Structures are given as structure tokens and as C-alpha cells.
Amino acid sequence: MRRLNAYALTFRLPIIIWQALFFIGPLIFVVAMSFFVVKNYRMVETFELTSWAKMISRDYVWSAYRYTLVMAGSAAAIASILAFPAAWFLAFRCSARARQVALLLLIVPFFTSYLVRTFSWYTILAEAGVLNGGFALFGLGPFKMLNTPFGTLVGYLTLVLPLVMILQTVTMANIDTRLVQAARNLGCTPARTIWSVILPAGKTGFVIAALFAFILSFGDFVAPFYLGGSNPPTMPILIIDTTKAGQQWPRAAVVAVMMMLTLFSIAFAAIVYSYRKRASR
């Protein structure tokens, strides 16, 4: 046993207190609340499985759950694929200086409120918006893009694409270029190095980038609400709806706990997968 080091403790204490107050505390409270019941629009602190039984038996909960999983998964996959060529270019074809500037520019979107960026899509995606105006020139459309799953996806990508691009760029910039050269030296075509060297060498970074995209999309309320028109609802929208309908906070807590369990298991699986080393005998 190491002796308790007062010096180390002094520096670690704030983060421990912070986590306890604002993460573990609320987490315990939400879990506890999922066992409360509502009587006469009043929450009663008790331990009953009523809310769990109610929510788990409802089809609309599970269809919202599946829809949220598919949408967040699609956002993670599409963001990873869309970001890759640009990140590859920044990592391998740019000077270090150009890369720094590009990374700085990729951070700029985060300066603006996500809500503002979401609303700006209204003018682009609306029936009489910029995109449909462009399609009309070719006699196409108008296409309904707002209040559709497509709108939701656009919103998710607005949130996660810059982040995924930053993480992928940093990942690839840290790959030892001698590995790429060694592959070329052994007969690997430039295009094939992406599959044979870059993806496996940067696996951890690519998985973490996709994981972040998934987590942010899975819990996002803004995109499915404003751009997807809550139709069909995602899990965060289910939480809002449930709290509004008859003060059903315990049922909302059940949804929240379901979401957290899902995120914990997916994050755990992704991290185990990305850090897994080859079995050594």
C-alpha cells in the first residue's frame, strides 16, 4: 500500500469533488428516481418497479430506442467516411503549418452555438430554401428535407463532423510515415496503403472518433427536435415528452437510465476493441 500523499491528494481532490457532485450524484439520483412513482401529479419517493414495467412493455419505447441507435450509428459511420478524405489530406499531404491552420479553422464552428448552426439549416433545407431553389433550376423537387430523418442526420453531422475530422487528422498525423513507406516498398499501391496500413495503424483513433460521434448524436435533442420534427421520436425526445405528459419524471428517468446503460456498454466495447492487442503466446 502506498502512503496517502497529501500533495497529490490536494491536486486530485477538486476533480474528485467535481465528479462526485455533478456526475455521480445526479447519476445516482436519476437511477433512484426511476423507481419512484407519481401519484396525483406528485412524485413519491419509494422503491417500485412500476415505471420500469410500464416503459419496458411499451412498443413505442423500443421503436424509439432502435431508431435512435440506427440514427446515431449512421451519423457516426457517415461522419467517419465523410471526414476521412479531408483528414487524410490534412495529415499526409499538407505541411505541418497548413495542418495547424486547418485544425484551428475546424475548431471555429464550436465558437457558434450549436442551436444557431441548427437553425441556419432551416434556410437551406426548407421547402422554399436554398437547396430546393437550386433543384428547381433543373426542374426537380421541391424535396421535403426538414422534419425528416434526413434533417435529423444533417443536424447530427453539423454537431459531430468537425470533431471527427479533428480526431482523425490528429490520429493520422501521428502514424509513423515510415510504415506507409515500408508498405510501398513491399509492393503496396498508394491506394491500398489506406486499408493495409493507415486504418489498422490508426484503429484506436478512428474508433474513438466514431464513438464520440455516436455518443453526441445518441444524446442530442436539438437535431431530432428542430430538423427532424420529432418524427419519429428519438430517446431524448421521449424524455421531454414523458416529463411534459403528466409529470412522469420516473418514466423519463427510466429512458435516461436505458440510454446511459447503452452508452456505457457501447463505449466499453469500442474501447476494448480499439485497444485490443494481438494475443501473445
Partner 1 sequence: MTEPLVTFERVEKRFDDFVAVKGATLDIGAGEFVAIMGPSGCGKTTTLRMLAGLDAPTSGTIRIAGQVMNDVPAHERDTPMVWQSLALFPFLNARENVEFGLKMRGVGVSERRQRAMTWLDRMEIAEFAERNVETLSGGQRQRVALARALVTEPKLLLLDEPLSALDAHLVIRMQSVLSRLQRELGITFVYVTHSQSEAFAMADRVVIMSQGEIAQVGTPREVYRAPRSRFVAEFVGRNNILPGEVVASHQGMVSVQTPLGTFNVQGDAAPGTSASIVVAADMMQVGGGENRLTATVISEEFVGSMVTAFLEASDGTELKVQVQERALADLGLETGREVSLGWNTADGHLLVDETP
List of residues contacting partner 1 (CB under 8 A): 176, 178-179, 181-190, 192, 196-197, 200-201, 203, 277-281
User: Which residues lie below 8 Å from residue 174, measured CB to CB, with a gap of 6+?
Assistant: 202, 205
Residue 57 or residue 185: which is nearer to partner 1 going by CB? 185
Nearer to partner 1, 127 or 176 (CB): 176
Minimum distance of partner 1 from residue 207's CB (angstroms): 13
- Toward partner 1, which CB reaches closer, 196 or 247? 196
In degrees, rounded to 5, the angle at the alpha carbon of residue 215 between the alpha carbons of residues 68 and 228 is 40
What the block records as the C-alpha cell of 214 is 455516436
Smallest distance from the beta carbon of 267 to partner 1, in angstroms? 22
What is the closest distance, in whole angstroms, from the C-beta atom of residue 91 to partner 1 in the complex? 17
Nearer to partner 1, 40 or 185 (CB): 185
**134 grid coordinates:** 437550386
CB of 79 to partner 1, least distance (A): 23
- Report the C-alpha gap between 183 and 193 in whole angstroms: 7
CA-CA distance, 142 to 187, in Å (whole number)?
A: 50
In the complex, what is the shortest distance from the CB of residue 280 to partner 1, in angstroms, rounded to a whole number? 5
Rounded-to-integer distance, Cα 111 and Cα 245, Å: 35
Least distance in Å: CB of 167 to partner 1?
Answer: 19
The CA–CA distances, whole Å, from 200 to 77, 203, 212, 225, 275 equal: 17, 5, 19, 37, 11
Nearer to partner 1 by Cβ, of 159 and 183: the residue is 183
CB 197 within 8 A of CB 183: yes
As measured in angstroms, the least distance from the Cβ of 173 to partner 1 is 17
Can you spell out the DSSP letters for 148-201? SHHHHHHHHHHHHHHHHHHHHHHHHHTS-HHHHHHHHHTT--HHHHIIIIIHHH
Residue number, 54 or 203, with CB nearest to partner 1: 203
161 φ, ψ (degrees, to nearest 5): -60, -45
Whole-angstrom CA distances from 145 to 119, 122, 125 are 14, 10, 6
Comparing CB distances to partner 1, the nearer of 108 and 186 is: 186
